[in-house]
Amino acid sequence: MARILFASLTFICSNARVQNMILDEVKRLAKPADIILDIGCGIRPQKYIRSRIHICADPHQKYLDCLGWDKSLLKVRADWKQAIELFPAVDTVFLLDVIEHLEKAEALDLLEATKQIARSQIVILTPLGFCEQGPDENGRDAWGLDGGELQRHRSGWLPDDFAGPDWKILTDPNFSPRCGALLAIWTNPGHKDQSPLPLTKRQRLHYGVDIFCNKYEMMRSRL
Residue 76 has pLDDT above 90, yes or no: yes
E strands, 60-129, in order: 73-77, 90-96, 118-128
User: In which domain, by residue range, is 66 found?
Assistant: 2-221
According to the model, what pLDDT value does residue 207 have?
A: 55
Q: Count structural domains, the chain.
A: 1
CATH code of the domain containing 158: 3.40.50.150
Residue 8 has pLDDT above 50, yes or no: no
Residue 14 has pLDDT above 50, yes or no: no
Residue 184 has pLDDT above 80, yes or no: yes
* C-alpha angle 70-73-77 in degrees, rounded to nearest 5: 110
According to the model, what pLDDT value does residue 201 have?
A: 53
Residue 192 has pLDDT above 80, yes or no: no
Q: In what order do the strands lie in the sheet with 53-58?
A: 73-77, 53-58, 35-39, 90-96, 118-128, 180-187, 167-172
Rounded Cα gap, residues 48 and 69, in angstroms: 20
Percent of the chain with pLDDT over 90: 52
Q: Which residue has the higher pLDDT, 214 or 115?
A: 115
What is the mean predicted confidence (pLDDT) over 69-92?
Answer: 93
Residue 143 has pLDDT above 60, yes or no: no
Burial class (CB in 10 A: 0-12, 13-18, 19+), 117: middle
Nearest Cα to Cα of residue 175 among 14, 1, 6: 14
Rounded Cα gap, residues 16 and 23, in angstroms: 10
Of 129-143, 170-184, 205-219, which gets the smallest average pLDDT? 205-219
- Residues 6+ away with beta carbon under 8 Å from 82: 57, 218
